[in-house]
Amino acid sequence: MTTTAAVDQVFLLIIAISVALLLLVTGLMLWFVVRYRRSRHPQAEEVKGSTALEVAWTLIPTLLVLVMFWYGYKGFEFLRRPPPGSLEVTVTGRMWDWGFEYANGKKSEKLFVPLGRPVKVNLRSVDVIHSFYVPAFRVKEDAVPGQESYLWFKPQSMGPADIFCAEFCGERHAYMISQVIVMEPAEFERWLAAPSPTEMSGTEAPSAADAAREVMEEWGCFACHSTDGTESVGPTLKGIWGRTVTVIAGGQVYELKSDEAYLRKALLKPSDELVKGYDDLMPPSELTDEQMSILLEYLKIL
């Protein structure tokens, strides 16, 4: 069974009960209002309390809610048990994009998965709370900093499925979206074995700038920084090298000249020295050493 089917069963059950109850209550109410309107029924009659009736309308709903609880619980249990042999992917939430990493170290910006194989998503966050949500598979779980969580699903048909961030996480929350791309298993294996674009070398060696931009793309830097001088959530990176920056650290404000040591720190521990006038929003980067040097070279020439 798929997660979609498991959840939809419970939906059907609860919707059916709800519609029946709504029709019952509204129907009775309207019928009484028409049947006992003043012009037709000028004298109200006292109705004796009926214990049987009250017991019935307490017990029947109690039974109904217990049934709903039970099926809700069973469906949930299914959602919490990834089948053995699931493909594991580590998903990192950061303001404001998702990063996907496979067991072999392959990274991507969309979640590529093979058709028909269950996928277990291990969730983490590097900054604030995000929530990984794939409506098509009816699954969602928060990515909480300092905590690990997971969910799983099984893609049963081709075609992309949207991934949303469901927990409000700041200015570009609505753009923290990605996609699940379902592939034929063989095609997926080929894709998984091929190196990530940033690691690509050989004939079509990309220029240094292109490589750096790839890195920035992968880590979502452009969500907050421009390279053309426009201000955004963070300061523009144009002319960053050698510029005089006013920073706040430990309650003190001072000026410094941006150099390699400063930039390294700004990337690894952005909260330690905050650029004055900006919020403490930048996620600490998890760049590999190689990516770090590519990036630093690029920042020099921007």
Partner 1 sequence: MGSEFHASYLDVPPGGGGLKSWIFSTDHKRIAILYLISILAFFFVGAAIGILMRLELIAPGKTLFEPSTYNALFTLHGVIMIFLFVIPGMPAILGNFFLPIMIGAKDVAFPRLNLLSWWIYMAGALLAVASLFTGGGPPDTGWTFYVPYSLRTGTNVTLAVFAAFVLGFSSILTGLNFITTVHRLRAPGMTFFRMPLFVWAHYATAWIQILATPILAITLVLVMAERLFGIGLFDPAKGGDPLLFQHLFWIYSHPAVYIMILPPMGYISEIIPTFAKKRIYGYKAIALSSLAIAFVGYLVWGHHMFTSGMSDTSRWIFSLLTFLVAIPSGVKVFNWVATLYKGSIELEPPLVYVLAFIFLFSIGGLTGLMQGALATDIHLHDTYFVVGHFHYIIFGGAVFAFMAALLYWFPKMTGRMYSKRAVWVALAHQFVGFNMLYFSMLILGMMGMPRRYYDYLPRFQTLHVVATVGSWILVAGLVVLAAALLRALRRGERAPANPWGGVSLEWTIPSPPPEENFSLPPEVGEPYDFSKGPAR
Q: Which residues bind ligand HEC (CB under 6 A)?
A: 95, 216, 219-221, 223-225, 233-235, 237, 240, 245, 258, 263, 266-267, 270, 274-275, 278-279, 281-283, 285, 295
142 versus 286: smaller Cβ distance to ligand HEC: 286
Question: CB-based burial of residue 285 (10 Å sphere; 0-12 exposed, 13-18 middle, 19+ buried)?
Answer: buried
122: which strand partners? 90, 150
Q: Which of residues 18-47 bind partner 1 (CB under 8 A)?
A: 18, 21-22, 25-26, 28-30, 32-33, 36-38, 41-47
Decide: is 149 part of the binding site for partner 1 (CB under 8 A): yes
| CA 122 to the chain's CA centroid | 12
Minimum distance of ligand HEC from residue 217's CB (angstroms): 9
Rounded to a whole number of angstroms, the minimum distance from the CB of residue 260 to ligand HEC is 11
Q: Contact, 140 vs 151, CB < 8 A?
A: yes
Quick one: 26 or 288, whose CB is closer to partner 1? Answer: 26
Q: What is each CA distance from 213 to 52, 198, 209, 210, 294, in whole angstroms?
A: 74, 9, 6, 5, 9
Q: How far apart are CA 152 and CA 139, in angstroms?
A: 7
Task: State the Cα–Cα distance between residues 166 and 143, nearest whole angstrom.
Answer: 10
Chain-centroid distance of CA 191 in Å reads 24
* Least CB distance to partner 1 at residue 31 (A): 9
CA max distance for the chain: 95
Question: d(Cα 220, Cα 98) in Å, to the nearest integer?
Answer: 8
CB under 5 A: which stretch of 63-71, 165-173, 222-230, 279-287 binds Cu ion?
A: 165-173
Least CB distance to ligand HEC at residue 253 (A): 13
Tokens of 184: 């034929």
Give whichever of 54 and 297 is closer to ligand HEC, judged by the CB atom.
Answer: 297
Site for Cu ion in 111-130 (CB under 5 A): 130
Compute how many residues bind partner 1; rule: CB under 8 A. Answer: 83
By C-beta, is 11 or 175 nearer to ligand HEC?
175
Exactly one of 1, 15, 253, 268 binds partner 1 (CB under 8 A); which one?
15
Amino acid at 17: I
Pick the closer one to ligand HEC by CB: 18 or 246. 246
- Contact letters (x/-) for partner 1, 184-223, by CB under 8 A? ----------------------------------------
Task: Give, as one character, the DSSP assignment of residue 117.
Answer: S
Cα 164 from Cα 175, distance rounded (Å): 8
294/282 Cα distance (integer angstroms) = 20
Residue closer to ligand HEC, measured from CB, 10 or 247: 247
Q: Is 1 in the site for partner 1 (CB under 8 A)?
A: no
189 closest CA partner among 87, 118, 121? 87
Q: Which of 254, 260, 291 is nearest to 274 (CA)?
A: 254
219 interacts with, out of Cu ion, partner 1, ligand HEC, none, CB within 5 to 8 A per kind: ligand HEC
Report if residue 169 touches Cu ion, rule: CB under 5 A.
yes
Give the separation between CA 242 and CA 234, rounded to whole angstroms: 18
* Rounded least distance, CB 211 to ligand HEC, Å: 13
Q: Is 176 in the site for Cu ion (CB under 5 A)?
A: yes
Residue 177 C-beta: closest distance to Cu ion, Å: 10
